[in-house]
A and B are shown apart, each in its own frame.
Chain A
Amino acid sequence: MAAVIFDGVTKRYGDVVAVDDLDLTIDHGEFMVLLGPSGCGKTTALRMIAGLEEISDGVLQIGDRVVNHVDPRDRDVAMVFQSYALYPHMTVSKNIESPLITRPTVVEGSDQPRKLTKAERAERIAEAARMLDLAPYLDRKPAALSGGQRQRVALARAVVSRPAVYLMDEPLSNLDAKLRAQTRAELVDLHQRFGTTIVYVTHDQIEAMTMATRIAIMSQGKLQQVGTPRDVYDAPANLFVAQFIGTPPMNTAPGKVSGDAVVVGESRFRFAGRHDDGRDVVVGVRPEHLTIGGDGAVKGVVRHVEWLGYEALVTCEVGADAANRFTLRQDASATPPAVGDTVPLQVAPERVHVFDAASTERLGG
């Protein structure tokens, strides 16, 4: 059963289209990450699931229910906000209890949600606190907690009502790098243990790649691609996705199809599969798939070498056009070429991505 379905959902603020005709099915138990650059409409999409934004057009379903006009409290969702939105005047314990006070809650062994008794609430608080290591802090106010602890309180407040769907808006962005990595692992663990549906918004591709079961990539309000982290990395649906995912980003250059290769200047990038001769395309190669050596079908002039300790990034100009800069990752132990050298480059044909120059869509085999 699908947990959330967007069917042609659009959100407009006056003339601004924040989310444009979104079709997306989020399956039950999925960890779906909405990924995209700032302002692409991720938060808006998430807030529409929560019911905090009205839907301008289209149909939104949670479970098998159309929720376009359902009050947020009746949607059986919980949200972790970017600011955490903890209640500063309440203790941690009261914060965690808060979602259980006014709403009927789903309880095991009964299909009718009901209000919990005080004892049941206490039990739920204790359970959430145990799960997130918050037991020692239950009587503190949020101001007396560290950033990581606050983040865990926000999570505890979400899990306590055991909602059908968890919504998270960049919940890790206020943590330092170490804590972020640790919390990432905890979230994945949480997801696996309880098999809950999570919709997670971020602009950080590392978070997306490491946690998601599927990623939905958005740009300017439009959905670009949905797929597993592998899918979107190995077979990006268009140029935007190709360049958005991966660090350093995929190398691209405009060229023309000729036989079994894309010609860029004097270089020929052989591809697997078939494309129409003479077609204007953009060729794409990830830095880790490009190596120095081979038969010299592709040649580059070294412009820049960055030695990072664990690897070196070598930037070459391909095809005599200064705009066509290709970066390749070289093992740190190899001797990097000197700047100004002309070097042969090679890439396996099945690693060459070809995009239509006009539509920027991926051209399959």
Chain B
Amino acid sequence: MGIEAEELVPGVVVAGPRSEAPPEAPNRSWLAAVGWYVLLIGLSLLVLLPVWLTLMRALSTPAAAVKPGASPFLPHEVQWGVFRRAIDQGNLWAALGRSMVVTILITGGQLVTSVLAAYAFAYLRFPFKRVIFALFMATLLLPIEVTLLPNLHTVRDLDWFNSYQGMAVPFMATALGTFLIRQGFLGVPSEIRDATRLEGYGHWSYLWKFAVPLTRPVIASFTVISFLAAYNQYLWPRAVVTDSNNWSTIQIALRDLTTTPETSNIAVAGALVAAIPIVVLLILFSRQIVQGLTAGAVKG
């Protein structure tokens, strides 16, 4: 918004900087738009380039692709069957299925526990709330390596190796989700909470009918974060899966794709297959992700 006109001296109107558009303005704004699009297209290409290179690498016969002078931007001696081979050899569909089960369990579990814990920290009064919250947040500082061994002992004692619960349950609570969603809940105007109290909504119905819908962008972006982290897990499944034929997740299966220099493109193709769920997720949630990332940055 520009300054329009100011009355510096009563009765004397001083024209502000935005008062009159220069005559060539339409042309200029057209040029500016083109400039922006060129810039944005350039940036998009930059982001998409690695994906394209990977695709070319997967499709090309490895020996042909590394010949001197072979362009990495183009396919060489295309092998259309490489995806089929990767999927068959690594049993990728099965691994992908298991990954999805684990990921959905973890994400779903994190959502439920985070929403409930966030509600308690945002709305309930109980003794030592601040201390408990601080301790809870402190777990954010612990890298997975610190908790790996104790968790492994627990899971072994429960006899949960090679099982979905063994892969999912240790990750079903998260301080990050609790923190983000609590912030979202605290952002709900207190008068809205008061109005629902007068209208007779209890904790449970307030949570699901008001608090959660009103923090949807935050919850959606946390869902994406949680999904990505769970799907990309490597270290933990590696540790609790001893029967890799029947229990590999996709990330483990990728590693187990045996490759020789002549078939190295199979591993690349496998990586592309593994990326499918992520791409689907980003497409489904793109609006919420953008909203979540800018939430609070823009008024209204």
A interface residues, Cβ below 8 angstroms from B: 47, 50-52, 72-73, 75, 77-79, 81-83, 85, 87-89, 98-99, 101-103
Contacts and interface: CB of A to CB of B under 8 A. Distances in A.
Interface string B215-242: 0100000000000000000000000000
B198 A78 contact: yes
B192 A87 contact: yes
Given A51-B197, A79-B195, A89-B214, 7 more contacts: A47-B194, A72-B198, A73-B200, A85-B192, A98-B196, A98-B199, A101-B201
28 contacts: A47-B194, A50-B194, A51-B197, A51-B198, A72-B198, A72-B200, A73-B198, A78-B198, A79-B195, A81-B191, A82-B191, A85-B191, A85-B192, A85-B194, A85-B195, A87-B192, A87-B210, A87-B214, A88-B214, A89-B210, A89-B216, A98-B196, A99-B200, A102-B199, A102-B200, A102-B201, A102-B205, A103-B199
A88 B199 CA distance: 16
Contacts of A72: 197-198, 200
Contacts of B199: 73, 98-99, 101-103
Nearest to A88: B214
Contact of A79 (B198, B200, B205, B210): B198
A99 B197 CA distance: 10
Interface string B242-278: 0000000000000000000000000000000000000
Is the contact region of chain A dominated by helix, strand, or loop, or is it mixed? loop
Contacts of B195: 79, 81, 85, 87
A51 B196 CA distance: 12
Given A87-B210, A89-B214, A103 B194 contact: no
B127 interface: no
Given A83-B189, A83-B191, A85-B189, A52 B210 contact: no
Contacts of B201: 101-102
A190 B231 CA distance: 59
Interface in B182-209: 189, 191-192, 194-202, 205
Contact of B194 (A81, A98, A102): A81
A77 B197 CA distance: 11
B187 to A, nearest CB: 12
A83 B190 CA distance: 10
Nearest to A52: B194
Interface string B22-53: 00000000000000000000000000000000
Contacts of A73: 197-200
From A47, A82, A102, name the one whose CB has the most chain B CB atoms within 10 angstroms. Answer: A102
A307 B195 CA distance: 47
B54 to A, nearest CB: 41
B214 A77 contact: no
The 5 closest A-B pairs by CB, nearest first: A73-B200, A85-B191, A103-B200, A102-B200, A85-B195
Contacts of A101: 199-201
Interface of B: 189, 191-192, 194-202, 205, 210, 213-214, 216
B148 to A, nearest CB: 41
A52 B201 CA distance: 13
Nearest to B192: A85
Given A88-B214, A89-B214, A102-B205, A77 B198 contact: yes
Contacts of B200: 72-73, 99, 101-103
Nearest to A84: B191
Nearest to A74: B200
Contact of A89 (B194, B197, B213): B213
Contacts of A88: 214
A59 B50 CA distance: 72
> Which of the listed residues B198, B200, B201, B214 has the most CB atoms from chain A within 10 Å of its own CB?
B198
A144 to B, nearest CB: 12
A101 B200 CA distance: 8
B288 to A, nearest CB: 14
A47 B200 CA distance: 15
A52 B197 contact: yes
A77 B195 CA distance: 11
A83 B195 CA distance: 11
A251 B181 CA distance: 56
A27 to B, nearest CB: 23
Contacts of A52: 194, 197-198
Contacts of A47: 194
Contacts of B194: 47, 50, 52, 79, 81, 85
B128 to A, nearest CB: 20
Nearest to A161: B199
A98 B199 CA distance: 7
A222 B196 CA distance: 30
A101 B209 CA distance: 12
Contacts of A75: 198
Contacts of A103: 199-200
Contacts of A99: 198-200
B132 to A, nearest CB: 23
A147 to B, nearest CB: 13
Contacts of B213: 89
Contacts of B196: 98
